[in-house]
Amino acid sequence: MTEMSARIQRLDPEPHPAATLPVRHAAETLRLMSYNIQTGIETRQYHHYLTRSWKHVLPHAARQDNLDRIAGTICDYDIVGLQEVDAGSFRSGFVNQVHYLAGQGAFPYCHFQTNRRIGRLARHSNGLLSRFRPLEMREHKLPGMIPGRGALVVRFGGPQADLSVVLLHLALSRRARMNQMDFVAELIQDLPHAVVMGDFNCHSRAPELERLLHRTRLMEPLHHLHTYPSWRPQKNIDHILVSDELEVRSAAVLDCPLSDHLPITMEIALPADVELVA
């Protein structure tokens, strides 16, 4: 086992009540989700950013109840990428939300990447949940004037062919996103089977996203999948991008406003030589 793969965390969770689908031993299709969960905070109006701002720094019981609802939403998917998740700090009651959602959603594999740590108060992280065994996990810091953004690269498959999933949460400024897109392009430009998903903080026709597409084999995103704000979605800033050798069967945004973002989902067909095993 390599040093990278040794960082993969194996769980044996009790199945969540909503997880009624059987776990498959091999995959021909793959159900993907990307979800910015805002550390489990339910936001339904713009003024909640002000009136509920204390929830970003203090623990509260409603957060855990909302995490249970989020678990019921994610449990029907094979690979789930989470952004704005807390990896266990004061504000989350020292609950690692990635581990918690993996347990509640009956995901055997999970990994978290902490990109910004504020003492014991907060651990800003990305998280990945999977029903299939990863071969390798790599963490990268994304470039930017303000540190705290990262990309998590997870490789699945076997000796014949593999699938790489990149989970990211990009910066708020366009200049930083341009540099981050270049960094991601370098990571995946030679990969035949790649999925890039997360909170891009830019719309589907943004110059920085077009720049990423120009430098890689990723296909153009769907332009009508609006995820933000969750109570009146008008912006498509969350994306799932796939390389041109992967067939997209379906894509949708789920109407479950449990965060300030809605989750975006996609089902893809895998090439015959890519075998994912649980």
**Rounded Cα–Cα distance for residues 213 and 221 (Å):** 9
Confidence band (pLDDT; 50, 70, 90) for 49?
A: low
Q: Is the pTM of this model over 0.85?
A: yes
Give me the percent of the chain exceeding a pLDDT of 70: 87
Average pLDDT, the chain: 88
**Strands of 247-253's sheet, edge to edge?**
9-10, 109-118, 122-130, 79-86, 29-36, 264-269, 247-253
Which amino acid is residue 262, in one-letter code?
A: L
Judge if the upstream peptide bond of residue 13 is cis by omega within 30 degrees of 0: no
- In the DSSP assignment, the letter for residue 93 is T
Average pLDDT over residues 25-50: 83
Task: Give the pLDDT confidence score for residue 159 in this predicted structure.
Answer: 74
Q: How far apart (Å, rounded) are the C-alpha atoms in residues 46 and 84?
A: 18
Mean pLDDT of 153-168: 92
- Which residue shows structure tokens 């990009």? 170
Residue 61 backbone phi and psi in degrees, to 5: -65, -35
Q: What is the pLDDT of residues 202-227, one digit of tens each?
A: 999 999 999 999 999 999 999 999 99
The position carrying tokens 């029903």 is: 131
